């Protein structure tokens, strides 16, 4: 391939063009969603750039010690970036962030029709060791003409309009679903644009990988313990599954989406409701999994059917390849029969 010619390719599908194409299928669309999304994308680019410089900032004194203030923690900075980007889009009315105790209600003059729930920097404890971290987001639409209330956000995940994550790793990858399949985009640093590199992602029906923190095994319930045992010592003559656990949800889910398998963060005696937050971790990732042909289960029900009562509520989660999650659902059903 002629690389000189390649550098001048004009047929690249950018995320902006992609979203505009999607929107054009809906004659009633006013372009608001595209504008909102372009602000989320801008936030992702900014955070990506900050994450890449994080190690250097300490080293060369870019940390702003000159004015006597400590360098802002990256997760706090990321949160500010996304809040400002979302408010300034004038398309949002309620924001729920992992970093903020209370929901943010956007002032009336900048208000729009969308609620955005997000974790600005998931896995941020991994920053110093170079492990992939990311931003997770979900978008709801409020009922027209009504004053926004917290109930507009406390909706089941199946009501989400769109969801996605941006992973800051060896490359900057944004995975998005607007309810018609899942697409992956990679940031081309020379263009400053996200380019469609993974069109129509479909998760394999069955995978060879399981992903869980086995350090919690002594506190697991019966079905979780049985499933992991089955992964390691299959009784049907098949090969054992491989264990892969990064401990950064975005990275673990990204691998699960592309290679198949199952990611689990079950409830245990120490965390009876699991550890992951419903609105901005469980819902967006479950939405993406289902859109890619996988499943997501809480141990009791389909994850997207869950109705959250509080904005920072937690839930156990089992998500990934359809057949693998089906096995987990069967183990929980069998346990219920016994009771």
211 phi, psi to nearest 5 deg: -135, 110
* 14 pLDDT above the threshold of 50: yes
CB 135 within 8 A of CB 165: yes
In the chain, % of residues over pLDDT 70: 91
Q: In the predicted model, what is the mean pLDDT of the chain?
A: 91
What confidence category does residue 68 fall into, taking pLDDT thresholds of 50, 70 and 90?
Answer: very low
What confidence category does residue 60 fall into, taking pLDDT thresholds of 50, 70 and 90?
Answer: low
pLDDT confidence of residue 23: 83
CB 119 within 8 A of CB 281: yes
User: Is the Cα torsion angle 187, 189, 190, 191 positive or negative in sign?
Assistant: positive
Report residue 226 as tokens.
Answer: 């049985």
Q: Where are the alpha helices (DSSP H) in 60-95?
A: 74-88
Return the CA Rg of the chain. Answer: 21
Q: Where are the alpha helices (DSSP H) in 193-260?
A: 222-232, 249-259
Considering only CA atoms, which of 137, 153, 164 is closest in space to residue 15? 164
Identify which has the larger pLDDT, 72 or 267: 267
pLDDT confidence of residue 27: 67
Q: What is the pLDDT of residues 298-331, one digit of tens each?
A: 999 999 999 999 999 999 999 999 999 999 999 9
Q: How many CB atoms neighbour CB 327 within 10 A?
A: 17
Strand partners, 141: 114
The pTM score is 0.93
Rounded Cα gap, residues 40 and 87, in angstroms: 11
pLDDT confidence of residue 65: 47
Say what the alpha-carbon torsion angle 34, 251, 301, 227 is, to the nearest 10 degrees: 160
Say what the alpha-carbon torsion angle 77, 79, 85, 87 is, to the nearest 10 degrees: -130
């Amino acid at each position: 391939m002629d690389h000189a010619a390649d550098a001048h390719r004009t047929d690249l599908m950018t995320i902006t063009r992609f979203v505009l194409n999607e929107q054009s299928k809906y004659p009633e669309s006013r372009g608001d969603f595209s504008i909102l999304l372009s602000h989320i994308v801008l936030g992702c680019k900014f955070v990506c750039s900050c994450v890449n410089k994080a190690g250097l900032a300490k080293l060369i004194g870019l940390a702003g010690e000159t004015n006597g203030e400590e360098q802002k923690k990256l997760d706090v900075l990321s949160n500010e970036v996304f809040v400002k980007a979302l408010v300034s889009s004038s398309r949002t009315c309620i924001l729920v962030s992992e970093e903020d105790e209370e929901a943010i209600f956007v002032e009336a003059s900048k208000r729009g029709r969308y609620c955005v729930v997000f974790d600005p920097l998931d896995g941020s404890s991994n920053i110093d060791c170079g492990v992939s971290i990311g931003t997770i987001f979900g978008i709801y639409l409020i009922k027209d003409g009504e004053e926004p209330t917290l109930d507009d956000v406390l909706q089941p995940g199946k009501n989400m309009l769109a969801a996605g994550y941006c992973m800051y790793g060896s490359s900057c990858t944004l995975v998005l679903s607007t309810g018609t399949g899942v697409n992956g985009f990679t940031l081309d640093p020379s263009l400053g644009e996200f380019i469609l590199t993974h069109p129509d992602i479909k998760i394999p029906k069955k995978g060879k990988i399981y992903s869980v923190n086995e350090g919690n095994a002594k506190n697991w319930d019966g079905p979780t313990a049985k499933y992991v045992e089955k992964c390691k010592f299959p009784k049907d003559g098949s090969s054992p599954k491989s264990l892969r656990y990064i401990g950064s949800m975005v990275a673990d889910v990204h691998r699960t989406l592309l290679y198949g398998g199952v990611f689990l963060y079950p409830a245990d005696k120490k965390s009876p409701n699991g550890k992951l937050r419903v609105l901005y971790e469980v819902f967006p990732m479950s939405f993406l999994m289902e859109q890619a042909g996988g499943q997501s289960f809480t141990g009791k029900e389909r994850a997207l059917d869950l109705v959250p009562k509080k904005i920072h509520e937690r839930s156990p989660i089992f998500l990934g390849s359809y057949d693998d999650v089906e096995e987990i659902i069967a183990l929980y059903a069998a346990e219920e029969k016994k009771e």
